């Protein structure tokens, strides 16, 4: 437990298993991306010569697949290490 502030308030560190959080995270991430696409249609945006123009659905699919493939991380102090790096 970590103590912060003059009044001595306390903040507890909570950990949740990634396999339980991951489906919720994916659902929320997909929902936010779909809402963004509705509010800011990519077809209305001007293309820039120095930026790769990627279809929104392709990028959305790539992001969801990347999160789906993420299995978790090991946390040590302030550093977070991706388990799949090595």
Please tell me the distance from the alpha carbon of residue 85 to that of residue 30, in angstroms, as a whole number: 25
Please tell me the distance from the alpha carbon of residue 86 to that of residue 69, in angstroms, as a whole number: 15
pTM for this predicted structure: 0.61
Please tell me the distance from the alpha carbon of residue 86 to that of residue 76, in angstroms, as a whole number: 17
pLDDT in tens, 8-41: 455 566 677 888 888 999 999 999 999 999 998 8
Closest CA to 72 of 81, 63, 59: 81
Specify the residue for token string 């930026």. 51
pLDDT in tens, 32-85: 999 999 998 877 777 778 878 788 899 999 999 999 988 876 555 544 555 554
């Amino acid at each position: 437990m970590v103590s912060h502030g003059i009044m001595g308030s306390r903040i507890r560190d909570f950990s949740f298993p990634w396999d339980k959080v991951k489906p919720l995270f994916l659902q929320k991430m997909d929902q936010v991306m779909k809402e963004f696409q509705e509010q800011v249609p990519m077809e209305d945006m001007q293309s820039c010569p120095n930026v790769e123009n990627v279809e929104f659905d392709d990028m959305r699919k790539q992001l969801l697949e990347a999160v789906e493939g993420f299995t978790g991380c090991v946390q040590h102090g302030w550093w977070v290490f991706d388990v799949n790096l090595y």
